[in-house]
Amino acid sequence: MFFHIDTKSNAPLYEQIIQQVKEMCAKGLLTPDERLPSVRELSSHMVINPNTVSKAYQELERQGIIVTVRGRGTFISKKTDRTSDPGRLKAIRESLKEAVIENYYAGYSKKELIKLLEEVYEEMEGKTDEN
């Protein structure tokens, strides 16, 4: 239930934590109301500063991913549909756009790119085959 640091990455530590929490939620490895490690616990385990962990948790709360309760800890939020949130849609399109550009330079076809997306999707969802 902890995270790992990629020292080769240019991404800040607090963003690496954010990314991994979101990824684990999407994968179902973290479920609503589940408790995250405390700030001090996680910081000492990752050998980083408590402030850095706190910064990550605060940003996750700002995004609605987690909820913090003073004196008790931080917990995964209940998932609410946000299909009407234009910001989320824009973020998806932005990521897909980057993928399409990289795909252009890689030289794969449109079909192959879609197949790749399906692969990544199934790795994430654990091969549930609805829709």
Partner DNA sequence: TAGGTGTACTAATATCCTTAATACACTTTC
Partner DNA sequence: GAAAGTGTATTAAGGATATTAGTACACCTA
Binding residues for its own copies (CB under 8 A):
22-23, 25-26, 65, 79, 81-83, 85, 88-89, 91-93, 95-111, 113-114, 116-118, 120-121, 124-125, 130-131
User: Considering beta carbons, is residue 73 or 113 the nearer one to DNA?
Assistant: 73
Residues that bind DNA (CB under 7 A): 10, 12-15, 36, 38-41, 47-52, 54-55, 57-58, 61, 68-74
> Could you tell me how many helices (H) and strands (E) the chain has, helices first?
5, 2
Biggest CA pair distance of the chain: 53
User: Considering beta carbons, is residue 30 or 36 the nearer one to DNA?
Assistant: 36
Indicate which of its own copies, DNA, none lies near residue 110 (CB less than 5 to 8 Å, by partner kind): its own copies
Smallest gap from Cβ 122 to DNA, in A, equals 31
**Are residues 27 and 128 in contact, defined by beta-carbon separation less than 8 angstroms?**
no
* Euclidean distance between CA atoms 54 and 125, whole angstroms: 28
**Are residues 68 and 55 in contact, defined by beta-carbon separation less than 8 angstroms?**
no
* Euclidean distance between CA atoms 17 and 97, whole angstroms: 24
